[in-house]
A and B are shown apart, each in its own frame.
Chain A
Amino acid sequence: MQQGAFKSMGVALGLVMLAQSLHASDASDVSDWSVAEDILAIEGDREYGAYLSSECTTCHQTETSTEIPAIAYWPREDFVTALHAYKDKVRPNPVMQMIAGRLSAEEIAALAAYFENPE
């Protein structure tokens, strides 16, 4: 739980800082970037999420952070928000932009449902 709250703050902070830096240097207005309510409300298919998660575990471990952060036990909303931020290229990192770029909103919801509590 605490871990979740911490993660949640990390994501929010990261986004705010990013939004500001982009805002300063770029014409596009991302300061009010957020994920739409209807996207956050999608119920994910956990079993599909488990299958999709196998693409992630080449780099991410579920519980141990290495140079690449661990991504399990996050509150769903934070997880969904982080992935849409990569998908919409609001958060940088070519690997994650590419990975998230081809995930549909349903697939992101499925992953969030799985990673919220894998096994």
Chain B
Amino acid sequence: MKLNRRNFLGTSAAVATSLSAPMVMAGGHGKPRLVVVGGGAGGATAARYAAKDSKGAIDVTLIEPTRQYYTCFFSNLYLGGFRDMDSLGHSYGTLASDYGINVVHDWATGVDRDAKTVALAGGGAVPYDKLILSPGIDFIDGSVAGWDLSAQNVMPHAYKGGSQTELLKAQLMAMPEGGVFVMVAPPNPYRCPPGPYERVSMIAHMLKETNPTAKIIVADPKPKFSKQGLFEEGWANHYDGMIEHLGPDFGGDDVSVNPADMTVNIGGEVVQADVVNVIPAMKAGRIAELAGVTDGNWAPVNAVDMSSKADPDIHVLGDASSQGDMPKSGFSANSQAKVCANAVRGALTGSQVFPARFSNTCWSLIDTDDGVKVGATYEATDEKIAKVDGFISKTGESADLRKATYEESLGWYAGITSDMFG
């Protein structure tokens, strides 16, 4: 099956070589080399599993500019006051010391697919036999009129972890009594489908305590959103009258902002805001485009091993990939990473490759102890990652069940971060 797929895709000499000698891909340079770009949910997991399971047989290099990774997951709980920022930070120390991963703190600036090297901002190039890209997302210029990256310190996106989230929180804390907070929600597809709505819930929770007459307006280009029934029920129960959600019928798909005077124009109506959170349209992290593995905004991959449709020796994980039915989440990226690491290890060392299987669960917190979740399992088909089975919390569930659901999410956070960073 694998042979067929490769024949179908394969054009380069490298593929022909790997077909005739699939056991070892390290052409005369000792250990086979895996390079991973991006140390987030996908990349850190893939690097750790490849290193751990090959027991030193693969030379693993992880390229990641930041020394401390701040998770986006649970960053909404930080806004709500349920977590502090320190608890969201994770270092790469254990990956280096306990797993022997060569962690390089730098930006990858390009990929030479013929020479099979990754160029670094600091100079030099790192050679690879297999390359995994998990660079997360970047924003599409011009998707919200009036906003570009130079406005992010006035109207933060807070859709990458760390300082942007801290800025948004500081702005919310400083908001005048009875002030107006506007969120510009993103169009599909984007990272973490329930993320903007969990954020609205957490900001409402915080404002209800500190600034109860404040208003929240969400301008949304989408007619429907993730877990909508559950969020709307929760907003009515906990934050009645505080949140106004304006879908496309109310101009939510026709928005411009003016960072200079803090106004938001929603379908022709100008709102004077105190804090504005612009979450623009998204695309794959730029290095995927530079590597030439994107088609449009995202990088198409083969479901069976997350290999790029453009290059069998490059794999793309997580948010940057276009794979089918899985939502762009940390859980999904982590799940894809393990399938990919198993396949890459097989290609590099000849170890057994087991069939791909994926799963995802996304929890959201609506208010104290009011947690909801949605989850699904997935399999690889020739065409895409396809959903097999799923569940979602129901409206009207008991407080005990909602509390148990929230508590589960705490266990998951501890689990996934130790699965990523050791």
Measured CB to CB, the residues of A under 8 A from B are: 47-48, 50-52, 54-55, 57-61, 64, 66-68, 94-95, 97-99, 101-102
Contacts and interface: CB of A to CB of B under 8 A. Distances in A.
B375 interface: yes
A67 B408 contact: yes
Contacts of B53: 50
Contacts of A67: 407-408, 410-411, 414
A50 B342 CA distance: 11
Contact of A59 (B357, B377, B389, B411): B411
A50 B414 CA distance: 20
Interface string B335-348: 10010001000000
Interface of B: 49, 53, 331, 334-335, 338, 342, 352, 354, 357, 359, 361, 373, 375-377, 388-391, 407-408, 410-412, 414-416, 418-419
A75 B410 CA distance: 27
Contacts, number: 72
Contacts of B415: 57-61, 66, 68
B419 A58 contact: yes
B185 to A, nearest CB: 27
A66 B410 CA distance: 8
A97 B390 CA distance: 10
Given A57-B415, A58-B419, A59-B415, A95 B342 contact: no
Contacts of A50: 53
Given A57-B415, A98-B391, 14 more contacts: A47-B352, A48-B354, A51-B354, A57-B419, A58-B334, A58-B335, A59-B361, A59-B411, A61-B414, A64-B414, A66-B414, A98-B375, A102-B377, A102-B389
B375 A95 contact: yes
A37 B343 CA distance: 35
Nearest to B330: A58
- Pairs of residues from A and B, 9 with the lowest C-beta to C-beta distance, nearest first: A68-B411, A67-B411, A94-B391, A66-B411, A54-B338, A67-B407, A51-B354, A66-B414, A59-B415
- The interface centre, meaning the residue of B373, B376, B408 with most chain A CB atoms within 10 A of its CB, is B408
B335 A55 contact: yes
Contact of A55 (B357, B414, B418): B357
Contacts of A59: 361, 408, 411-412, 415-416
Query: Which among B49, B407, B419 has the greatest number of chain A C-beta atoms within 10 A?
Result: B419
A94 B375 contact: yes
A101 B411 CA distance: 21
A30 B72 CA distance: 43
Contact of A98 (B389, B412, B419): B389
Contact of B359 (A51, A97, A99): A99
A12 to B, nearest CB: 22
B240 to A, nearest CB: 29
Given A54-B49, A58-B335, A102-B377, A95 B419 contact: no
5 contacts: A47-B352, A58-B416, A67-B408, A67-B414, A95-B391
A94 B390 CA distance: 9
Contacts of B376: 98
A105 to B, nearest CB: 16
B390 A98 contact: yes
B408 A68 contact: yes
A55 B415 CA distance: 11
B407 A95 contact: no
A58 B420 CA distance: 9
Contacts of B408: 59, 67-68, 95
B377 A98 contact: yes
Nearest to A107: B357
A66 B414 CA distance: 7
A110 B287 CA distance: 39
A22 B411 CA distance: 27
Nearest to B338: A54
B40 to A, nearest CB: 15
Nearest to B358: A55
Contact of A58 (B373, B390, B410, B412): B412
